Structure 1
Amino acid sequence: MRAMILAAGRGNRMRPLTDNQPKPLLPVAGKPLLAYHLEKLAAAGVNEVVINHAWHGEKIENFVGDGSQWGLQISLSAEPEGGLETAGGIIKALPLLGDDPFWVINGDIWTDWNYQDLPTHLEDEQLAHLIMVDNPVHHSEGDFGVENGRLISKGSERKTFSGIGLYRKELLAPFPPGKQALKAFFDAAIEQKQLVGTCWNGLWTDVGTPERLHQLNQQLEK
């Protein structure tokens, strides 16, 4: 099983904490966010991890090394200044991710989800399986509805995409590299009924602002 951790964002909302370091290296309970993901992926049986980077990418490279301290083989996908956005970053890294479905995880989230419980299989017609969570206060409108395991564009029970999912390369492979957001690809897959999801209600935080980082640290110190 392979996985990709998205770590190329500039983290503007997290400034000044990200002025001199990438957001995935910010500490949570004394440990960089990125380390949590690497530990969990290794425990889940992942062998190869791809990490993209742009802002202060050399610090990510220095931190992860070759991945041996986690028992992982880590490949790095460097992006130009400003990054390629989520879809663009994954498309650039596809040659490193192989032909089988792979996990993609946002590097700036924290969760107590056990990655051994992540989906590992997609039916033939499915392009991705997303983990959905309850809507946080800062994103109260949610992203997609969930209906009988399928994701839909509309619906009263909208949930928020957690930033964790299982992807087929075919979701993105037909498109050339370049700066591209991911939502349009999800919307196209939903229209073709090729996007599924699982709802989960454990601990999850989009560590997007200094305030949320502080709240998470307080929560974990209790």
Structure 2
Amino acid sequence: MMGAERPSTAMVLAAGLGKRMRPITDTIPKPLVPIAGKTLLDWGLDSLQQVGVEKAVINVHYLPDQIVRHVATRDRPGIVISDESERLLDSAGGIVRALPELGSKPFYILNADTFWLDAGKPNLERLALAWDGKAMDILLMLAELPSTTGHSGGTDFLIGPDGRLSRAKGNPDELIYAGAAIADPHIFAGASAEPHSLNAYFDRAIAAGRLFGMVMRGHWITVGTPGAIAPAEAAVRRAFADAPRVDMSRVNRQ
């Protein structure tokens, strides 16, 4: 178990086009869409800062200069930009390109267009405590559907008694991937920085019995379309009204 040895680096996937968020994303990249007074990107970066991550690598493609300017205002975590302006590399290709900055130890992976509200101990801390490098290649944070807002798709994974994952295969009672994970960089050995998806690595880890999951505590929020903004902000207000243990300083700060 990693215990106190939390990952010190993180990959933040922020290079998507955000087409479903148009017309908002005609002028700003999706990670900079504000929810409850704070951008989607800052919700994630604040979660990383909260658990002591020292360096976050952010890949950019669409309207990249806006993201570069925005993160320049942050002190923590330290930001490194991985520029994919010329060509999108997809989730895994972007990580492979950023590996020299991410280091040789397990690191966090975060999607920049989803976020969550912790209940009690930060979920990223819980993820680090659950990590077991001897048994795991990837550890995913998962959410139960009743604890989500904005999710319109199906479920993703079935979790076994020991935490091992398999694909949900359409079972509506299973879990969704909550856009946060810990991965061992060795799984990308020999991969090239060409466009390809993390899903291939999930499936490879499942086949090896080395994909595990942890169910988050709190509320998970995804904002896929302009119409999802109001429900997301209502969920934030509701969560803070119902759970004062959530850190109020994380709201209304960009």
- TM-score, with structure 2 as normaliser: 0.80
Q: 1:44 to 1:75 in 2, by over 3 A?
A: same
What is the aligned partner in structure 2 of residue 152 from structure 1?
Answer: 166
Structure 2: distance between partners of 1:36 and 1:204: 12
Structure 1: distance between partners of 2:77 and 2:232: 27
1:8 to partner: Cα distance: 0.4
What is the aligned partner in structure 1 of residue 250 from structure 2?
Answer: none
Structure 1: distance between partners of 2:193 and 2:69: 26
- Report the AA paired with residue 164 of structure 2: R
Aligned length: 219
What is the aligned partner in structure 2 of residue 87 from structure 1?
Answer: 92
What is the aligned partner in structure 2 of residue 12 from structure 1?
Answer: 19
Structure 1: distance between partners of 2:185 and 2:168: 26
Show structure 2 runs of 5+ residues with no match: 1-7, 239-254
Alpha-carbon RMSD across the aligned residues, in angstroms, is 1.8
- TM-score, with structure 1 as normaliser: 0.91
- Which residue of 109, 121, 125 maps to 1:116? 125
What is the aligned partner in structure 2 of residue 64 from structure 1?
Answer: 71
- Which residue of 111, 114, 127 maps to 2:137? 127
1:83 to partner: Cα distance: 1.7
- Which residue of 171, 178, 184 maps to 1:162? 178
Structure 2: distance between partners of 1:81 and 1:122: 37
Show structure 1 runs of 5+ residues with no match: none
Deviations 1:31-55, CA, capped at 9 Å, x for gaps: 1111122222112111111111100
Higher deviation after alignment, 94-103 or 80-89 = 80-89
1:199 to partner: Cα distance: 1.4
Aligned identity (percent) is 33
What is the aligned partner in structure 1 of residue 102 from structure 2?
Answer: 97
Q: Which runs of 4+ in 1 moved over 3 A?
A: 154-157
1:174 to partner: Cα distance: 2.4
Structure 1: distance between partners of 2:50 and 2:126: 11
Structure 2: distance between partners of 1:21 and 1:195: 35
1:125 to partner: Cα distance: 3.7
1:208 to partner: Cα distance: 1.3
1:211 to partner: Cα distance: 1.7
1:26 to partner: Cα distance: 0.5
Structure 2: distance between partners of 1:32 and 1:96: 24
- Report the AA paired with residue 175 of structure 2: K
Structure 2: distance between partners of 1:13 and 1:23: 10
Are 1:105 and 1:163, in contact at CA under 8 Å, matched by a contact in 2? Answer: yes
What is the aligned partner in structure 2 of residue 194 from structure 1?
Answer: 210
Are 1:128 and 1:167, in contact at CA under 8 Å, matched by a contact in 2? Answer: yes
- Report the AA paired with residue 222 of structure 2: D
Does residue 47 in structure 1 map to residue 62 in structure 2?
Answer: no
What is the aligned partner in structure 1 of residue 229 from structure 2?
Answer: 213
